[in-house]
A and B are shown apart, each in its own frame.
Chain A
Amino acid sequence: MSMDKPKPREQFTLSLRVRPEPIMVRDPFLEFLGLVGPEEPIAVGFEELVKAAGHMCPTVAGAYLVLRHGLKALYGDEPAVRGNVQVTAYGGPTDFGYGPIAQLVNLVIGAASETGFGGLGGGRFRRRDLFIFRSDDLRHCEFDFARLDTGRSVHVSYEPNVVPTPKELSAAIGPALSSGDAASVARFRSLWNGRVEDILEADARVVRIQAAE
């Protein structure tokens, strides 16, 4: 029996009980290339982060919330500007979820480590070295966000455990991964995705913004 190939998903939309609002940014390089209009904002939705990360988890939710609230603290209601924000993570690339978070930060605000875009000409539109890993000062999910144009910076920490974790979640992982039967996977999915939704629902409660030291 032949089966139709699944159609590509043009609009990646998640079915969540909360609807995270998109993060608004501007991208001067896109504007320079004429791919978007002058000062035309771009909306980066939570779905795009999930799509880029290839999964949804408390860390992906954390990246989203840290970015949204950190950028809001720097820019208020204005769109944040790509290439104009330096992000410092307190830990190395393999500590906690800093590695995956760095990729999502790059997606939203352009900041990247030494692998980032080097810029044109004299380094215009440069995104390289705008994400810094402080391997020498390890803290738990803490970041600095700094605006390069004004020098303003904030310290952002992410604390998902403000929202209680279902006790069953840890025990559900093993059966879902080992046996892979439909019931175990469904149970795991429900608990796992529910945990992420709980965090998204808690929103600003899991993120703490302070003035940078």
Chain B
Amino acid sequence: MAAHQFTSATTVDDVVHADPALSRVLNAHGIDTCCGGSATLAEAAHVRGIDLDKLLAALNGDNEPRERSVAVATAPTDRCAAPACEAAAPSAPLPRAAVTVPAAPRPTRYVRFFTASLLFALTFGSTLGALTLATLTLPWSFIGGLPTDSAKVAHGYAQVFGFAALFVMGVAYHVIPRFKGAPLAAPGVASASFWLQAGGVLAITLGILAGPPAVGPIRLMGALALLAAASSFGWVVHHSLAAGAPTPERFERYLRTGCAWLVIAAALAVVTASGIGSLQPAVWETALWGFGASWILGMSLRIVPVFLGLPPLSQRTSSVLFACYQLAVLAWVSVAVIETWALLPIARALAGAMLGLAVGAFLLRLGIFGPWENRPTVGDRGYEKFMVSAYAWLLVALVCTPAWSAVAALAGSSTPALVLDFGRHAFTLGFLTQIIVGVAARLVPVFVGTPLWSTGWRDVTFYLLNAAVVARGLEVLVEVAGLSEAWAYISISGPLGVGAFAAFAVNVFMTMRVQPPASASVPTGGEPTADNLVADLLTIPGALELLVSRGLRPLQNPEMRKAMAPTVTLRQACRIHNIELEPLLAELYKLAAISREA
């Protein structure tokens, strides 16, 4: 029996004081006995991603009598699950034989969300939208007997609640645990939200396509499913965010509020499906400016400064902008709902102006259009153009929707329908979709642990998408300049948009289907190479700290380490994180040499 009984509350210092020989057991688990000694064993195990029970068993000498000093130093310790813990036997040379990387479950929860999202976009979303647009602008019908108004609604649900919302949900369920360093709350509820959301969108679109008399009840069921999905999504997001420490960027409140707006949008969809069809515009305003924009602005706070090397917003500025933006959306949505029954031109003007100012101020402070500093010069930075272009389209959407609406209300006239339509597509296609595509091009390789399947297809997506929005902009010329001969050409926007979605979908599917090797050899002869898996390189004592200090900061997070390290090579990790490979490899080589000599 061990002389001491250590618990999760025992500090690392207490352990080494009780028996200095146990410092080697701690070292073998990668736990710092020097500067990090004030942590409890539970904290140290959490940070290192170690199984606490196994650590306590090793320290308490369960199953075998423990002897002092060297006997402990040479005794094998239980392997923990985290790749970093492969740094066992710190003073021993690197293992030479091939080892199997600990079987870490591959995080694939996002896959079904992405797949369903893209399927909706390619069927009832962009494709149905393109056919409807062609029907409206050309002298032929491409949608059979389906009324164009119904087709537009089905297209809208598929794009907003199918494509965008499902994609956002997939990203959220994957990244929030990594942002917060805590597991996803209630994975079962998260799974349920997928089926409810996908089923809800499918029911609504099929119901609309089926037409009367089935459309009413089916659409209502679909809307109720959307409401349940939004509520469960919000619940999971809220509790997952609450599990970790608050983050300084305060992006979390945008995410929480965005979830609340999704619930409101779904509730309005239920009311709309119940018979008050005139509320449909309010559903779009809520879903786009409330849910979509809140999520994107919030995520922008978290990732845009990192991706583009911009300085983060100060907390005070961030708080003021958040309050202004949410108040503006509240006013904008409220006016949209009330105007179903009574026109409120002054209120609409004020709400539109507030929304424009709030979003404009956010963009100004974010600095997305300003000079970027600290721009890394290495690696593929192809996602930047998506971001800049997306925010440019957001400005266009601001001009064409809330600002134009405000001016029209003050002038005592209604906003031109074509301008509103373009504004909405500048938002959905130019901003929302483009951000999703750009962020996906940056994140999907990180999720999967391989490079993007094709940067060429990514760039094709960019050009097609922007060409589609530009073609859609002909609506403004027709409406404002009376350029009626341009009317037919608006339909070009449809195929361009479908092409963009198709290229994007192919790229995402091909990237996701890559199967990283489940096992690999540790560096034979102790020489790390660029094509070693990061998990293997972490077997070199000190490699974790080195890689983190050189920019692979996600490895600090045990969740990320478990997910990423066994699936990505050093070369890929350097490419993804814009780190120069050769100097890092040289440092790893030195570490390995030191380890061999120890």
A contacts, CB < 8 Å to B = 57-59, 91-97, 100, 135-140, 161, 165, 169-171, 173-175, 177-179, 181, 183-184
Contacts and interface: CB of A to CB of B under 8 A. Distances in A.
Given A94-B27, A161-B13, A165-B38, A174 B70 contact: no
Contacts of B73: 138
B235 to A, nearest CB: 26
Interface in B234-288: 245, 247-249
B557 A94 contact: no
B91 interface: yes
A138 B68 CA distance: 9
Candidate in B13, B34, B90 with the most chain A CB atoms within 10 angstroms: B34
Contacts of A137: 69
Given A170-B43, A175-B245, A177-B556, A136 B69 contact: yes
B70 A161 contact: no
A95 to B, nearest CB: 6
Given A94-B541, A95-B23, A138-B21, 8 more contacts: A59-B34, A94-B90, A138-B20, A138-B70, A138-B73, A140-B16, A173-B36, A178-B557
B38 A140 contact: no
Contacts of B557: 178
A162 B559 CA distance: 35
Nearest to A159: B17
30 contacts: A58-B35, A59-B35, A94-B27, A95-B24, A95-B33, A96-B20, A136-B69, A136-B70, A138-B21, A138-B23, A138-B69, A138-B70, A140-B16, A161-B17, A165-B38, A169-B38, A170-B36, A170-B40, A170-B43, A171-B43, A174-B181, A175-B245, A177-B548, A177-B556, A178-B557, A179-B248, A179-B249, A181-B249, A183-B315, A184-B248
B39 interface: yes
Interface in B1-31: 13, 16-17, 20-21, 23-24, 27
Interface centre among A91, A100, A169 (most CB of B within 10 A): A91
Given A57-B35, A96-B34, A183 B248 contact: yes
Overall SS of chain B's interface: loop
Nearest to B541: A94
B598 interface: yes
Contact of A91 (B20, B548, B553): B20
Interface of B: 13, 16-17, 20-21, 23-24, 27, 33-36, 38-40, 43, 47, 69-70, 73, 90-91, 181, 245, 247-249, 312, 315, 541, 548, 553, 556-557, 598
A94 B91 CA distance: 7
A158 to B, nearest CB: 12
Contacts, number: 77
B34 A179 contact: no
B248 A140 contact: no
A42 to B, nearest CB: 28
A170 B556 contact: no
B345 to A, nearest CB: 44
Given A59-B34, A161-B13, A140 B556 contact: no
A165 to B, nearest CB: 4
A174 B38 contact: no
A179 B251 CA distance: 13
Main secondary structure of the interface of A (DSSP, over half): loop
Contacts of A57: 34-35
When A and B form their complex, which 10 residue pairs have the shortest distance between CB atoms, in order from nearest? A181-B248, A140-B20, A97-B34, A170-B39, A165-B38, A138-B69, A57-B35, A170-B38, A138-B20, A139-B20
Given A138-B69, A165-B38, A178-B553, A96 B16 contact: yes
Nearest to A55: B35
B200 to A, nearest CB: 36
Nearest to A59: B34
Nearest to B69: A138
A186 to B, nearest CB: 11
A39 to B, nearest CB: 37
Contacts of A171: 43
Contacts of A58: 34-35
B140 to A, nearest CB: 56
Contacts of B47: 174
B431 to A, nearest CB: 27
Contacts of B13: 161, 165
Contacts of B548: 177
Contacts of B90: 94
Contact of A96 (B33, B40, B43, B181): B33
Contact of A181 (B35, B70, B312, B553): B312
A57 to B, nearest CB: 5
B340 to A, nearest CB: 44
B334 to A, nearest CB: 35
A140 B17 contact: yes
A3 to B, nearest CB: 11
A95 B315 CA distance: 42
Contacts of B315: 183
Given A59-B34, A93-B598, A94-B598, A179 B247 contact: yes
